[in-house]
Chains A and B, each alone.
Chain A
Amino acid sequence: MMTTVKAMTSGELARYLIDRKPLYILDVRNEDVYGDWRIEGQSIESINIPYFDLLDGVEEAVKQLPSDGPILVVCAKEGSSVFVAEQLAEAGLREVYYLQGGMKEWSEHLEPVKAGDLPDGALYQFVRLGKGCLSYMVVSGGEAAVIDAMRTTGVYEAFAEKLGVTIKHTLDTHLHADHISGGRKLAELTGAAYWLPPKDAGEVTFSYAKLEDGERIAIGATEIGIGALYSPGHTIGSTSFIVNGQYLLTGDILFVASIGRPDLAGQAEDWAGDLRRTLYEGYRGLSEELIVLPAHFGQIDELDENGRVAAKLGDLFRDNPGLHLEDESEFRRAVTENLPQHPNAYQQIRQTNMGRIHPTEEEQREMEIGPNRCAIHDQ
């Protein structure tokens, strides 16, 4: 019998999530891995049956799956999902896909969306759906700057080439603990300058441009500026950027639905006070009309109908629970106690971002597996 199993790419899956098209997922990875980290979305339903429970037949799965509509079988790397998908098709299910490259590719996929307009350009957000990471490209007058780049730097190079712009600067808001930064690599590949806050760079082994408070970086021939605003708390060097007076890039300090955690560099107690001052005093002094663009999201429902994660600063002062911990001791407790688990391999990731260890591509991928867990409300 001819089977009709088709591959679904990570890019196609991203459109299901963003466009909220219904999709039923059968995840055949181990139960503990599924419990830890899986594909989620408003229009996505998923069940978990490990593939080794389906080796003798897929009746058990067929009973639980809907008889019509698309079904996507997901595993770690692809092999088992093809195996199971073929059996589902033979059992009579009509629209069966497997996820091409598995969770491995999904965890790396970046979906570019337009975050907003700029004079003679635009600000683009790259949504890493599988991990909840957000990075940015500021484009104006034929030039570009990339902020909080992922290690899959080819995506930014290809995007810049498509737009016909030159990457002149790469910037990191802080020394990341949940993903390996592509900022330095991208700068080396494109001849751009790599900027990092010096207070986070005490132990780095490479040279970089110092991102100090008040620094202004011009992009393009027009007067677009990236203004650096020192905003410690998640890390001691954490820096926010104000792009053209319109957008506030908050890094891991302020998210749409939560606030950053101060403990990933081992200093929760010391930095809780800095975090509070940045959120409750520093950001309070800024225009409420600024569009906040963070470096992470926690839940898929933080994406708007265009797949963008953004909110007005004024709205966050009204709605974000992390900005309503008025009592100082209550705030301190919220950001130091009952925090979510640490991101996977966060210590090695920090060491890698300092240039102190040099894991292989495969090891880097392994280190980044799982959710980002940079906000205090993450699970």
Chain B
Amino acid sequence: MNGKIQADMTLDCIGLACPMPIVKTRKTIDQLADGAVLEVQATDKGSLADLQAWARKAGHQYVGTITEGEVLKHYVRKASTAEAKPEIRYPHTASNEELAQRLASGDDVKVLDVREAAEYAFRHVKGAISIPLGQLASGYDALSPDSELYVICRTGTRSDMACQWLAEHGFSRVKNVLPGMTAWTGETQSEVEGN
């Protein structure tokens, strides 16, 4: 299952006792770009609760954890400064409810999830296509410019940027889904067991 979770960097904290996993995670995340995902491998069971609590306070996004034998693999996404003050510029938006309704009616609409692959792996809208924002320029060939496209991310900021970019590249039927996955209550899928 782990093959499906992608991280930009992996940090080895195997065998380290508290407080070292958090000490090292803090140092390492500073070296990452905004929005990048860090995988932290640890064997200290307490690292799960500590990492969640620390990420909440530090403003980073705790994405999820998978367990492989004795090893816990935690995924944390570095908060980006742009996300701190969400700015929605693309004019065509849709509510979570509107998208859920369109999907439930079986309409021919596509959902594009522009979050990082690791975020997508833990939980995404059923049937959503994954192209992280940073890979949109190289990955958008897979999409048809004529299809009706609902673009979603965690809070609406990355999807706003994706919508603007897609509009500039000939996509005419694109909507930004607000507020996004953070409040999504419709049907979801996961690539990770137990999630």
Task: List chain A positions with a Cβ less than 8 A from chain B.
Answer: 30-33, 50-53, 55, 75-77, 79-80, 83, 366
Contact: B18 with A31, CB < 8 Å? no
Question: Which residues of B in the span 1-51 have a Cβ within 8 Å of any Cβ on A?
Answer: 17-20, 22-23, 26, 45-46, 49-50
Q: Could you say which residues of chain B place their CB within 8 Å of the CB of A50?
A: 50, 53-54, 57
Contact: A52 with B17, CB < 8 Å? no
Contact: B46 with A77, CB < 8 Å? yes
Question: Could you tell me the distance in whole angstroms from the C-beta of A62 to the nearest C-beta in chain B?
Answer: 18
Question: Could you tell me the distance in whole angstroms from the C-beta of B85 to the nearest C-beta in chain A?
Answer: 24
Q: Could you say which residues of chain B place their CB within 8 Å of the CB of A83?
A: 19
Q: How far is the CA of A55 from the CA of B20 in the complex (A)?
A: 10
Contact: A79 with B53, CB < 8 Å? no
What would 12 A/B residue contacts be, using CB atoms closer than 8 Å? A30-B49, A32-B49, A33-B49, A50-B50, A51-B18, A52-B50, A52-B57, A55-B23, A77-B17, A79-B17, A79-B18, A80-B18
Q: Could you say which residues of chain A place their CB within 8 Å of the CB of B46?
A: 76-77
Q: Which residue of B lies closest to A54 (CB)?
A: B19
Q: Could you say which residues of chain A place their CB within 8 Å of the CB of B53?
A: 30-32, 50, 52
Question: Could you tell me the distance in whole angstroms from the C-beta of A288 to the nearest C-beta in chain B?
Answer: 48
Contact: B26 with A55, CB < 8 Å? yes
Q: How far is the CA of A51 from the CA of B47 in the complex (A)?
A: 12
Contact: A76 with B18, CB < 8 Å? yes
Question: Could you tell me the distance in whole angstroms from the C-beta of A198 to the nearest C-beta in chain B?
Answer: 38
Given contacts A79-B19, A80-B18, contact A30 B26 (CB under 8 A): no
Q: How far is the CA of A164 from the CA of B144 in the complex (A)?
A: 86
Known contacts A52-B57, A55-B22, A77-B46, then 11 further A-B pairs from the complex at CB < 8 Å, ordered by chain A residue: A31-B53, A50-B50, A50-B54, A51-B18, A51-B19, A51-B22, A52-B54, A55-B23, A77-B17, A77-B18, A79-B19
Q: Could you say which residues of chain A place their CB within 8 Å of the CB of B50?
A: 30, 50, 52
Q: Could you say which residues of chain B place their CB within 8 Å of the CB of A77?
A: 17-18, 46
Q: How far is the CA of A123 from the CA of B194 in the complex (A)?
A: 50
Q: How far is the CA of A52 from the CA of B49 in the complex (A)?
A: 12
Q: Could you say which residues of chain B place their CB within 8 Å of the CB of A31?
A: 53
Q: Which residue of B lies closest to A53 (CB)?
A: B57
Q: Could you say which residues of chain A place their CB within 8 Å of the CB of B57?
A: 50, 52-53
Q: Could you say which residues of chain A place their CB within 8 Å of the CB of B23?
A: 55
Q: How far is the CA of A366 from the CA of B45 in the complex (A)?
A: 10
Q: How far is the CA of A75 from the CA of B46 in the complex (A)?
A: 11
Given contacts A52-B54, A52-B57, contact A80 B19 (CB under 8 A): yes
Q: How far is the CA of A366 from the CA of B46 in the complex (A)?
A: 11
Question: Could you tell me the distance in whole angstroms from the C-beta of B74 to the nearest C-beta in chain A?
Answer: 14
Q: Which residue of A lies closest to B27 (CB)?
A: A55
Q: Could you say which residues of chain A place their CB within 8 Å of the CB of B20?
A: 79
Question: Could you tell me the distance in whole angstroms from the C-beta of B127 to the nearest C-beta in chain A?
Answer: 36
Q: Could you say which residues of chain B place their CB within 8 Å of the CB of A79?
A: 17-20
Q: How far is the CA of A30 from the CA of B18 in the complex (A)?
A: 12
Q: Which residue of B lies closest to A362 (CB)?
A: B45
Name the 5 nearest CB pairs between A and B, nearest first.
A80-B19, A79-B17, A52-B54, A79-B18, A30-B53
Q: Could you say which residues of chain B place their CB within 8 Å of the CB of A76?
A: 18, 46
Contact partner of A55 (CB less than 8 A), chosen from B17, B19, B45, B49, is B19
Q: Name which of B18, B46, B50 has the most chain A CB atoms within 10 A of its CB.
A: B18
Question: Could you tell me the distance in whole angstroms from the C-beta of B69 to the nearest C-beta in chain A?
Answer: 14
Q: How far is the CA of A52 from the CA of B20 in the complex (A)?
A: 10
Q: Which residue of A lies closest to B55 (CB)?
A: A52
Q: How far is the CA of A366 from the CA of B54 in the complex (A)?
A: 22
Question: Could you tell me the distance in whole angstroms from the C-beta of B50 to the nearest C-beta in chain A?
Answer: 6
Q: How far is the CA of A30 from the CA of B22 in the complex (A)?
A: 13
Q: Which residue of A lies closest to B49 (CB)?
A: A30
**B120-163, CB under 8 A of A: which get 1 and which 0?**
00000000000000000000000000000000000000000000
Q: How far is the CA of A77 from the CA of B57 in the complex (A)?
A: 22
Q: How far is the CA of A80 from the CA of B53 in the complex (A)?
A: 15
Q: How far is the CA of A33 from the CA of B23 in the complex (A)?
A: 20
Q: Could you say which residues of chain B place their CB within 8 Å of the CB of A366?
A: 45
Q: How far is the CA of A293 from the CA of B131 in the complex (A)?
A: 66
Q: Could you say which residues of chain B place their CB within 8 Å of the CB of A33?
A: 49
Question: Could you tell me the distance in whole angstroms from the C-beta of B25 to the nearest C-beta in chain A?
Answer: 9
Q: Which residue of A lies closest to B53 (CB)?
A: A30
Q: How far is the CA of A13 from the CA of B104 in the complex (A)?
A: 61
Q: How far is the CA of A80 from the CA of B23 in the complex (A)?
A: 10
Q: How far is the CA of A50 from the CA of B57 in the complex (A)?
A: 11
Question: Could you tell me the distance in whole angstroms from the C-beta of A164 to the nearest C-beta in chain B?
Answer: 40
Question: Could you tell me the distance in whole angstroms from the C-beta of A345 to the nearest C-beta in chain B?
Answer: 14
Q: How far is the CA of A83 from the CA of B21 in the complex (A)?
A: 13
Q: Could you say which residues of chain A place their CB within 8 Å of the CB of B18?
A: 51, 75-77, 79-80
Question: Which residues of B in the span 41-96 have a Cβ within 8 Å of any Cβ on A?
Answer: 45-46, 49-50, 53-54, 57
Q: How far is the CA of A51 from the CA of B53 in the complex (A)?
A: 11
Question: Could you tell me the distance in whole angstroms from the C-beta of A30 to the nearest C-beta in chain B?
Answer: 5
Q: How far is the CA of A113 from the CA of B52 in the complex (A)?
A: 41
Q: How far is the CA of A197 from the CA of B64 in the complex (A)?
A: 45
Q: How far is the CA of A161 from the CA of B23 in the complex (A)?
A: 45
Q: How far is the CA of A53 from the CA of B23 in the complex (A)?
A: 11
Q: How far is the CA of A306 from the CA of B45 in the complex (A)?
A: 37
Q: How far is the CA of A159 from the CA of B49 in the complex (A)?
A: 37
Q: How far is the CA of A77 from the CA of B20 in the complex (A)?
A: 13
